[in-house]
Amino acid sequence: MNQEDSEAFLLKRDERLGLLIWFRLSRVYNHSLRETHHHLKKWGLTAAQFDMLAQVGAHDRLTQQQLADKLFVTKGNITQLLGKLEELGFIEREQEWKTKYVSLTDKGKALFDDVVPVQEQFQASQYNALSRDEKKQLLELLKKIQHE
């Protein structure tokens, strides 16, 4: 095998390895999402509703734009979710001039205190097969991929 063929072979092998990593990450993510949805059913929440509840609860009061930025979605995308959480009595929205603010109601704070610690423990437990050093290494590798 000449140098050019050898390089082409290695490139194909690297591409295949990259593809296998992508498949594995997709499977891990989808499995985690299914487990999360199942776990959050105890509180009648979806993963998106939980994310919103957790963000608002962690910050007391946010503008809808700040919330959208934290969730990596557009302001329009969260309107429907906010409406549902407001309907359920977990959040309240108030408008000050052109800015809409979101905060938890007392009922929302009680749900936040009930569900967030349990959900965080549940999520963390999905990585119990890894040692502390492996978890740190995985986190660094994922950060490296995200920044490239």
Band of the pLDDT at 148, cuts 50, 70, 90? low
Query: Domain coordinates of the chain in residue numbers?
Result: 3-147
Which architecture does CATH list for 3-147?
Answer: Orthogonal Bundle (1.10)
Report helix angle 75-87 to 64-71, nearest 10: 110
105 near 90, Cβ under 8 Å? yes
pTM over 0.85: no
Cβ distance 108 to 53 under 8 Å?
A: yes
Would you place residue 61 in the very low, low, confident or very high pLDDT band (cuts 50, 70, 90)? confident
